[in-house]
Amino acid sequence: MAESEEQQNQEQSEQPEDAQEAPEAAAEETPAEEPAAEETPAEEPVAEEPAAEEPAAEEPAAAPAPAEAPAAEEPGETLSPRQQRKAARSRFEGEARPPRTPEERLAERASQRRRKAGERSRWRKKQRTKHAARDRGPAAEQPGPSREPGSRKVRQGVVVSSKGEKTITVRLENVRRHRLYEKVLRESNTLHAHDEANEANEGDVVRVVECRPLSRTKRWRLVEVLEKAR
């Protein structure tokens, strides 16, 4: 009987150990299983990543649109001659010419300058003809001043000083109306004329004519005295 009691005591003492080991084993097994549960969510995003990358693959197709906008504005920009030559060389698709010597390049540039100068002269001649035809009209048919090329100018004025020897000072007056404001403008200037006989006095109305330089200030010569001073 004593042996049976000792066996029962031993079994009871062993049972709690097994019961204690069972929860510990369960506790150890659950953490081992949890990573498996965590792996499944980790695998799902891996399967969804290609779907998230698809919009990124489509974005570059829409991106070139802003880059093409400046290309449409480039023709409006003014390029320097050097940039124009560079652009022409980039568009050239034919065979390259053999290298040229500096003398050949200078000769080509000189020929281009002569050609452009001829084009400019022809354009200017055409513009002159065009303006002459436009200005031709009733006003152009009216006779102009009687002065011929090479003829001398003739002026009429009043003597303001005759103190110099063989020299008189003549005041020329000009009265005109302003073409915009219709105001009467009076202008006057003086000149020195050569009087060989000292026949003109102050206040006389005289006529003078243009001549060669006779001194530092004299470019006119007395023709006649029209009216004597009173």
Ranges of residues in the chain whose predicted pLDDT is under 70: 1-76, 137-149
Summarised one tens digit per residue, pLDDT across range 119-133 is 999 999 999 998 888
Q: What does pTM read for this prediction? A: 0.36
pLDDT at 123: 95
pLDDT at position 93: 84
What does the pLDDT read at residue 3? 58
Q: Does domain 154-227 have CATH number 2.60.40.10?
A: no
The rounded percent of the chain whose pLDDT value lies above 90 is 48
* Per-domain boundaries in the chain: 154-227
On whether the CB atoms of residues 89 and 83 are closer than 8 A, the answer is: no
